[in-house]
Amino acid sequence: MSNLEQTLSIIKPDAVERNLEDKIKTVFKNEGFKIVKEKKIKLEKKDAEKFYKVHETKPFYNDLCEYLSSGPIVVMVLEKNGAVLDNRKLMGATDPKKAEDGTIRKEFGLSIDKNTVHGSDSLDNAKVEIDFFFAH
Ligand code: CMP
């Protein structure tokens, strides 16, 4: 049975800065994800604050928004059966030190902040996050 989903992925500033964009896209493609939309942008801090609004009460919120708006990022819509969960698995744990072998954050992540990629954590959030970047 088909369970085709779309999820939002962001290649974060630490990875773009280290020229990892193509390598990371290859990882997604090799795992069966289709990149159906993509763009490279640089966010204003106020946009990062809107994007990460769910985290606004967290102590790391300001640093997180500073960081996401600190340099170019690549935002992508990834599509495959079970895309949301499969992308979460492929990214690995938020903290690269805790990420499993073979995951993107284990291989490329530098720290819990500079953890290379973001991915939607649920199908509902995927829709909201895709709209945030690609609705207009
Ligand atoms: P991301 O999946 O983009 O979602 C929120 C981000 O907050 C997360 O990745 C981390 O990079 C960042 N972050 C910083 N500190 C923490 C923390 N203590 N717990 C969870 N996320 C954190």
Tell me if 52 is assigned to some domain: no
- Whether 81 maps to a domain, the answer reads yes
- Pairwise CA distance, residues 8 & 78, whole Å: 6
Confidence of residue 15 (pLDDT cuts 50, 70, 90): very high
Is 124 within 8 Å of 6 (Cβ atoms)?
no
Provide the pLDDT for residue 1.
Answer: 73
Establish whether 136 is a catalytic residue. no
53 occurs within a structural domain? no
Q: What is the CATH number of the domain that holds 128?
A: 3.30.70.141
Instruction: Report yes or no on 60 lying in a domain.
Output: no
Q: Which residue has the CA at smallest separation from atom 2 of ligand 1?
A: 118
Q: Residue 32 falls within a domain, yes or no?
A: yes
12, 25, 114, 118: which one is catalytic? 118
* Tens digit of each residue's pLDDT (9 = 90 or more) over 25-64: 999 999 999 999 999 999 999 999 999 999 999 999 999 9
Residues with CB under 6 A from ligand 1: 55, 60, 64, 94, 112-113, 115, 118
Q: How far apart are CA 91 and CA 86, in angstroms?
A: 9
d(CA 61, CA 66): 9
Cα 63 to averaged position of ligand 1 atoms, centre (Å): 10
pTM, entire model? 0.97
Ligand 1 centroid from CA 2, angstroms: 32
Question: Ligand 1 centroid vs 11 CA: distance in angstroms?
Answer: 14
Whether 83 is covered by a domain: the verdict is: yes
Residue 10 located in a structural domain: yes
Range of the domain at 109: 4-43+70-134
Q: State pLDDT tens for residues 54-79.
A: 999 999 999 999 999 999 999 999 99
How many structural domains comprise the chain? 1
